[in-house]
Amino acid sequence: MSSIALIFDVIFSCLITLTFLYRCGNYRRQHPITTGAVFISWSFSVLFIFLLPLDISLAAYRECQSQNISTISTTTISPDNLNLSNTIEKSCPRPWSYVNPRSYEVLWRIIYWTSQCLTWFILPFMQSICQTGEFYWKGKIRFALRSNLIYYGTLLLIFGILVIYVAVNYNLSASNFKVTVIAASTTWGLFLLVLMLGYGLVEVPLNVYNHSRTSYVLSHIQFNLSKLYNEKIDIEERLESLVEDISKLCLQIKYNDSLRPCLEEIVRIIPEQYSNRVKLTMDDYEDYRATTTTNNLIDLPTEKQLIKLHGLIKKSKHIHHRVQASWVQMINQAFYLEDILNNENNSNRSFVKQSPLPRSWLRQKLFDEHPVLEWYTFCFLRPWALRFLGVGLGIISLVVIWSEMTFFSTSPVLSIFARIVNVARHHYDYFTIEIFCCLSLAYLCLCAYYTIFRMRIFNYFYLSLYHLTDENSLIFAATFLCRLTAPLSYNFLGMIHMDQVITKKTDRQETVFTTIMGRMSVIPMISRGFNFYFPMLICLLCVGTYFRFGSRCLHIFGVRQFFDDDYVSAEYVEDGKNLMKKERRNLGGIDNVTTMANTTTATQRRDRRKELEEKYGLRSTSANNKSKLPSDDLEEIISESRQLKASSSSSDEPLIMNNNNHNQRVPSNAPTALGSSRRVAPPTNIFNDI
């Protein structure tokens, strides 16, 4: 009976991880090794939430036992007072979830050290493999080792300095060496945790409360629609230029060339909208090859240049797919929010659907025949429920901030979390301890992980819940989760005064998790310095997040952020409204009609560029944010002028690009993939100048 709680927690953690991994990733496109590593990392991070409360209740029970044993030891046990010892034993009931402490010890060792190996060694190596455009495993591994050389060298340098410091000032034994390793990892994780919580503790309740304001949420989505459509134009122009370059490669690399398999791999991953053009060019080349001589006066690309092109087309394809799918999800949400806003002042309290898109199957089942129920659900109950939930979460965030700033005070006990746990422990209410600690840890993890899911580092890292997250972003998130979970648990134990370094009471029983990690008192500078005072910065970070200092700084440097009272934001919102009107006209209430989610034409992209330049004074998203490209040196593949050698004009073999069937060029005034106008050069070799 007692092991059921532990088994249930493990199974429930795996189910939660599977749900999020299914929503974020796409197991059909991911490598099985990537899926397995991310699943282990995420599941261990979630398991901390459920396993640590059981460990805390076990520590409270063991403390009660030790106190009873000390009481019995002062009394001479005889048949006359044997009932007394039984009475003392009954005064300390066993928790319903009791499991042998050795089981927790084995489990904690597996979870902690596996997570550390994943976050510091395995996942960074896998992430480098996902980023490269190498065609073969040997090249991928070589690139991963080379790219991580500086990373691992820096880690070894910092760790070496720390070990020397401990050896000089303290006794460096085997146990102290292990604690030094754990202290270094925990300190870095605590630094990240404070930054994440400083953002999440404010944004989570604020975001929940703002969702009760339908007009605000709709304006925010319209703002994002405008940015997303600009990104869509950019990536399609980039793909147009890449496909044009690949078409030239299909004509230049012969069928018996050693680079032909690499070219075929590049052609294989071209998006479906552009693949027909490249395949036709390859077919034409087969006919052309039979009528040409074998002399080749064109400089062919090297394997290194094909690797760069392969990485760029792979990343661009994923961004293009994500942007298209995100547009469908966002426009559907915008139309439904617009319906809610229009129905809020409906006097007959009946929901009238005006969205041209069909509803989800669940809303069809619930509300198609009950428009009054739909009005009360979305126009009355939903706003008030979100307001109350937002205020409640805001109060919890204030309690967390207060406890983080006062957890070092043990007399009097100022931490609210510590007071609640102490009261439950004195009454031997282990179930209350487990539920309270589980909910508290879940909220702390929600705030910290929310920051990770909201983080977007250009197009390098982006998490989405609609099967649109690439392998690189999944591994990046798994790395952060593994680094944050153990420091978060250590910090929570400090808030509830279950750490002897904080309480300074050696008779207080500690958790099995603390015994596995070891006491940080080996390095006083960390245990009584950094770990004590750095969490206090959460208060300053929360104040900065509430007043949006970070967003305002990004806004000043040209990274567009949504503000209620900003002129540029209002322009973007107005542009989003116009895009919604165009999409509504395109849909027209008829299924299977061309929408703005499909690939745009060159004329549409040129008109969009002109509109941005004339109305908003903007050139393009890619022009303003060139760092969105996965690699800066890959821009040369698209943007450089590429000329044939002068000697090629005297060749007996006709120039490939002089064939009219393969010389379809864009107009000289058409925008390029980087958003700037340039005159297209005559038929050229794309890698001649690189």
Q: What is the DSSP string of 305-354?
A: HHHHHHHHHHHHHHHHHHHHHHHHHHHHHHHHHHHHHHHTT-TT------
Q: Which residues contact 299 (CB under 8 A, 6 or more apart)?
A: 645, 685, 687, 688
For residues 343-374, one letter each, b for 16 or more C-beta atoms within 10 angstroms of the residue's C-beta and e for the rest, the string is beeeeeeebebebbbebeeeeeeebeeebeeb
Phi-psi category of residue 561: left, alpha or beta, with phi > 0 → left and psi -120 to 50 → alpha: beta
Tell me the two tokens of residue 16: 């939660």
- The Cα–Cα gap between 78 and 140 comes to 74
Distance CA 137, CA 149 (A): 18
Cβ count near 392 (within 10 Å): 13
| CA 48/CA 513 separation, integer angstroms | 10
- pLDDT tens across 548-603, in order? 888 778 767 666 677 766 777 888 899 999 999 989 888 874 444 456 667 777 77
| E strand spans, 355-513 | 456-457, 461-462
Establish whether the linkage from the previous residue to 412 is cis, with ω within 30° of 0: yes
- CA–centroid distance for 461 within its chain: 6
**Alpha carbon of 537 to those of 367, 531, 540, 544, 669: distances in Å?**
48, 11, 5, 11, 53
Q: b vs e for 226-251, b when ≥16 Cβ sit within 10 Å of the residue's Cβ?
A: bebbbbbbbbbbbbbbbbbbbbbbbb
Question: Which residues make Cβ contacts (< 8 Å) with residue 359, sequence separation at least 6?
Answer: 353, 367, 368
- Retrieve residue 430's tokens: 């282990």
Q: Which of 672, 618, 520 is nearest to 227 (CA)?
A: 618
Q: Is 675 left (phi over 0), alpha (psi -120 to 50) or beta?
A: left
Task: Report whether 341 contacts 214 (CB < 8 A).
Answer: yes
Residue 67 lies in a domain: yes
Q: Cβ distance 193 to 487 under 8 Å? A: yes
461: three-class secondary structure by DSSP: strand
Inside any domain, residue 645: no
- Which three-class secondary structure state does DSSP give residue 462? strand
Cα(393)–Cα(211) distance, integer angstroms: 14
Question: Using an 8 Å Cβ cutoff, are 648 and 298 in contact?
Answer: yes
Q: Is residue 159 part of a domain?
A: yes
Q: Is 518 left (phi over 0), alpha (psi -120 to 50) or beta?
A: left
Give the C-alpha separation, 207 to 202, whole Å: 8
pLDDT for the residue numbered 90? 66
Distance CA 246, CA 266 (A): 8
Q: Is 563 a domain residue?
A: no
Per the CB < 8 A criterion, the answer to whether 495 and 419 are in contact is: no
Residue 422 belongs to a domain: yes
Q: Which DSSP category does 410 fall into?
A: B
Q: Is residue 116 part of a domain?
A: yes
What's the CA gap between 262 and 264, in Å, rounded?
A: 5
DSSP string covering 429-441: -HHHHHHHHHHHH
Q: How far is CA 309 from the centre of its chain?
A: 26
Q: Which helix (H) or strand (E) holds 177?
A: helix 174-210
Residues 6+ apart with CB under 8 A from 402: 414, 415, 416
Which of the 8 DSSP states describes residue 677? B
The confidence score (pLDDT) of residue 685 equals: 37
Phi first, then psi: give them for residue 461, nearest 5 degrees: -135, 125
What is the Cα–Cα distance from 669 to 321, expressed in whole angstroms?
A: 28
Q: What is the pLDDT of residue 286?
A: 47
At 223, which amino acid appears? F
Note whether residue 200 is domain-resident. Answer: no
Task: Name the percent of the chain in helix, strand, coil, to the closest 5.
Answer: 70, 0, 30
User: Which residue range(s) make up the domain with 28?
Assistant: 1-73+92-186+406-526
Residue 252 and residue 644 in contact, taking contact as beta carbons nearer than 8 Å: no
The residue ranges of the chain whose pLDDT is under 50 are: 1, 280-298, 589-593, 620-690
Number of domains forming the structure of the chain: 1
* Residues whose CB falls within 8 Å of the CB of residue 199, separated by 6 or more in sequence, listed in order: 451, 541, 545
How does DSSP classify residue 464? Answer: -
- DSSP H helices, 253-302, are 260-268, 272-289
d(CA 72, CA 510): 22
Do residues 618 and 676 touch, judged by C-beta distance below 8 A? no
> How remote is the C-alpha of 194 from its chain's centroid?
17
Residue 501 to residue 511: CA distance in whole angstroms: 13
Residue 412 covered by a domain: yes
Query: Nearest to residue 428, comparing CAs of 60, 180, 119?
Result: 60
